Amino acid sequence: AQTVTQSQPEMSVQEAETVTLSCTYDTSESDYYLFWYKQPPSRQMILVIRQEAYKQQNATENRFSVNFQKAAKSFSLKISDSQLGDAAMYFCAYRRGYSGAGSYQLTFGKGTKLSVIP
């Protein structure tokens, strides 16, 4: 079974600084997707960024970028120029890439609570 581990229960960053959230996963599959979701106090789950395992290029979305290390099974999220609105729980998630039973299930990590200090 796939597992997703976020080893940092809490992180903090000064406003305008850069922070990196860690995520590792365990899988025997070669084709899969990885995601970072943000959950602010409103509890809405918001997609931040996604990465296809077959793509070597790291995904970026404005101030958010990932460092995808497939061999190490690592998928970290970097937030640049942190803003107060970035304060939230961040969840790393995994999904298998091919069709079949269970292939569309997202497996989530436990989350990292990010605080942004003004």
Partner 1 sequence: DAGVIQSPRHEVTEMGQEVTLRCKPISGHDYLFWYRQTMMRGLELLIYFNNNVPIDDSGMPEDRFSAKMPNASFSTLKIQPSEPRDSAVYFCASSRTSGEGTDTQYFGPGTRLTVL
Residues that bind partner 1 in the complex, under the rule CB under 8 A: 33, 35, 37, 42-47, 50, 91, 95, 101-102, 104-106, 108-111
In SS3 terms, 12-71 reads as EEECCCCEEECCEEECCCCCEEEEEEEECCCCCCEEEEEEECCCCCCCEECCEEEEEECC
Nearer to partner 1, 52 or 115 (CB): 52
Cβ at position 75, least distance to partner 1 in Å: 15
Nearest residue (CB) to partner 1, 72 versus 101: 101
Question: DSSP class of residue 107?
Answer: E
Rounded to whole angstroms, how far apart are CA atoms 94 and 108?
A: 7
Question: Which C-beta is closer to partner 1: that of 13 or that of 32?
Answer: 32
Query: Rounded to the nearest whole angstrom, what is the least distance from the CB of residue 43 to partner 1 in the complex?
Result: 5
- Residues 100 and 31: their CA atoms lie apart, in Å, by 13
Minimum distance between the CB of residue 90 and partner 1, rounded to whole angstroms?
Answer: 13
Closer to partner 1 by Cβ: residue 63 or 110:
110
- Shortest distance, position 16 Cβ to partner 1, whole Å: 29
